[in-house]
Amino acid sequence: MFAAFKTCSSTDMATASSLLSEERFLCSVCLDVFTEPVSTPCGHNFCSACIQKYWDNTDTCQCPLCKRAFSARPELQVNTIMSELAGEFKKLVQVKASTPDGQLPADVLCDICSEIKKKAVKSCLMCLTSFCEVHLEPHQRVAGLKSHTLLDPVKNLDDRMCKTHNKITELYCRTDQACVCVICFKTDHKSHSVVPLEEEYETMMGKKDEAMANIRKLIESRSEKIAEIENSLDVSQIETMEEKAATVQVFTDLSCSIQRSQTELVEVIEERHRATKEKAEGFVKELRGEIAELESRSSQLKQLSQSEDHYHFLQSFPTLCSPQNRDCANIGVHSDLSFEAVRGALTLLKQRVDEIMGGLPEINMKRMREHAVDLTLDPDTAHRSLVISQDGKQVTNEGRKLELPNNPERFEMFPEVLAKEGFTTGKFYFEVQVTGKTSWTVGVVRESIDRKGSANLSVTDGFWTFGLDGGTYGTSKNISDTVALKEKLQKVGIFVDYDEGVVAFYDVDSKSHVYSFTGCHFTEKLYPYFCPQVRENGRNSTPLIITPVPQTD
């Protein structure tokens, strides 16, 4: 029998389902499918944990179903066959739940059954109760009950009650599109268009075909769009592979060309050096020969000066004293190893390639993120209306001044705050989330800005900032300057090159450039600056958030 259930196919699933009726595998204590079922001496089955708990809470040890008493608590063993059948039933339910027909609905149990809960066959909207065949009998016999509205078993009958008046919702309000009771109709919905549920049901059923047709059209249109997108994706995949291959080929050719040129240039340099070396060695050899000849003449003159043969001395002296006198000043080796033109051309080529690559938003963003810094807001600089989060990454304007210590670094006039970290050289980058805000300002400022007075938000006063005010984006360069953007900024990237005098702002989501200050001359420490602006009666209460910068590969 167990093997038969193991091998049942989808075609006889209905038969198996009828054989494996849920009632056969329900524990009458927990009303759920058996878990480790055990059999009592009277032949009834229960979950092992359920029957043990049941006996723990009773004075006498008896069967919950037949009430047969046992003189001593029986030692129960797991019923292997029942356990396997219960397991197969669970699998059958899971299989049916995964079929296109939908999920296997859980049985609605009879609300009247006291011990073994039987499966309900009808639910009564008047009694708000579900009945099995036995307990439904009065509704089929008693005249007063025959008028009750019966329907197929449903769960949660209480949901059909009006929560206000505790009455059955028999009516439908077309004005509010809600189910209502009779009292609702006479009070809150008195002037509304209210009809019986059955009438609205018939009306809606009449529109069902049209609604289903519309849904089918929507499904078709979306299916067509999916096919179009998938086709575009396939085309994009092919184009990506082709572009990737072409790009790799170009870079490979360029790399090979540069490598070949490098090899050739190195060979030229070495060849010129070899020629220079050979020339130098020739000069050295000639000069060494002349030195040897001169040393020989010197030795002969010394011997001649010791001779008393006047005739020989006079005959030899003029010859020994007059060697060939070559001008050594004109002898030299000049090596032409200058390739500045080649190096200059290669430098320009590298700069041009860097410019082109830097023009790609993804490449540019990746290069900037290599200079990401971890910032923390400095509460000692925060205006009294600002609240800094515990991690120091968020700032919110509370709209009221808080009791805070007096600090010389604290801003007194406007809701501003600085980061703890300052910079005097190099490059740095950070990102700020501005989602949900109607006004904000971010950027960098010099250390000596006026924090107590009403200093202008200008470059002259040490502010290099960008922000949103009244739906318009602007900068601190000129209050009348505005920046037009296609999309509203959600996250702003700020890149600073202290040495080059650049402060640039980017739309992180689109990786596009927004605005740049260039040609700046920084002489002081720069601090990241944040201003969440006023709350605007809660419309601008969202915080500015310093977000983590994704790590580059």
CB neighbour class for 357 (10 Å; exposed up to 12, middle 13-18, buried from 19): exposed
Beta bridge partners of 397: 386
Contacts of 104 (CB under 8 A, 6+ apart): 93, 96, 97
CA distance 433 to 397: 15
Distance (Å, whole) CA 451 – CA 531: 13
Closest to 521 measured CA to CA, from 443, 459, 447: 459
Average pLDDT over residues 496-521: 93
Q: Report the chain's mean pLDDT, rounded to a whole number.
A: 83
**Collapsed DSSP state (helix, strand, coil) of residue 541:** coil
∠ CA 53-54-55, rounded to 5°: 90
Percentage of residues in the chain with pLDDT exceeding 90? 26
Q: Residue 485: what pLDDT?
A: 87
The three-class DSSP label of residue 438 is coil
| Predicted local distance difference test score (pLDDT) of residue 6 | 35
- CB–CB of 465/496 below 8 Å? no
Give the burial class of 55: count Cβ atoms within 10 A of its Cβ; 0-12 exposed, 13-18 middle, 19 or more buried: middle
User: Could you write out the DSSP letters of every residue in 254-301?
Assistant: HHHHHHHHHHHHHHHHHHHHHHHHHHHHHHHHHHHHHHHHHHHHHHHH
pLDDT in tens, 383-437: 999 999 999 999 999 888 888 888 889 998 899 999 999 999 999 999 999 999 9
In angstroms, the Cα distances linking 338 to 152, 263, 269, 272, 280 are 99, 16, 9, 11, 19
Q: What pLDDT sits at residue 12?
A: 42
Cβ-contact 459, 526 below 8 angstroms: no
pLDDT, residue 18, reads 43
Degrees to nearest 5, angle at CA 353 with 352 and 357: 120
Which range is least confidently modeled, 168-177, 273-282, 341-350, 367-376? 341-350
Question: Do 475 and 483 meet the contact criterion of CB atoms below 8 Å apart?
Answer: yes
Q: What confidence tens digit (pLDDT) does each residue in 14-58 have?
A: 444 444 456 677 888 887 888 888 888 888 888 888 888 888 888
Token pair in block for residue 304: 């001649």
DSSP labels, 453-513 = S---SSTTTTEEEEEEETTEEEESS-TT-EE--SS--SEEEEEEETTTTEEEEEETTTTEE
Packing angle, helices 208-305 and 197-206, rounded to 10 = 60
For residue 349, the model assigns a pLDDT of 79
Picking from 378, 512, 513, the residue whose alpha carbon sits closest to that of residue 451 is 378
| 3 state SS of 400 | coil
Q: Average pLDDT of 316-343?
A: 72
Please write the tens of the pLDDT for every residue from 215-270: 889 888 888 988 998 899 899 899 889 888 888 888 888 888 888 888 888 888 88
C-alpha span between 386 and 419 (Å, rounded): 14
How many residues would you count in the chain? 553
CA 113 to chain centre: 54
Annotate 327-388 with three-state secondary structure. Answer: CHHHCCCCCCCCCHHHHHHHHHHHHHHHHHHHCCHHHHHHHHHCCECCCCECCCCCCCCEEE
Ordered DSSP codes for 57-87: T-SS-B-TTT--B-SS-----B-HHHHHHHH
Place of tokens 């290599």: 370
Q: Is the pLDDT of residue 11 over 60?
A: no
How does DSSP classify residue 111? Answer: S
State if pTM tops 0.85: no
Pick 523 or 32 by higher pLDDT. 523
Q: How far is CA 259 from CA 248, 273, 339, 350, 479, in A?
A: 16, 21, 16, 14, 53
- The span from the CA of 275 to the CA of 268, in Å, is 10
Strands 427-433, 440-446: pairing kind: unpaired
The span from the CA of 409 to the CA of 416, in Å, is: 11
Q: How far apart are CA 446 and CA 101, in angstroms?
A: 69
Distance CA 313, CA 318 (A): 9
Could you tell me the strand order of the sheet in which 440-446 lies? Answer: 417-418, 526-531, 440-446, 463-469, 472-475, 482-483
pLDDT at 93: 66
Asked whether the beta carbons of 518 and 453 are under 8 A apart, the reply is no
Q: Given a cut of 70, is residue 466 above it in pLDDT?
A: yes
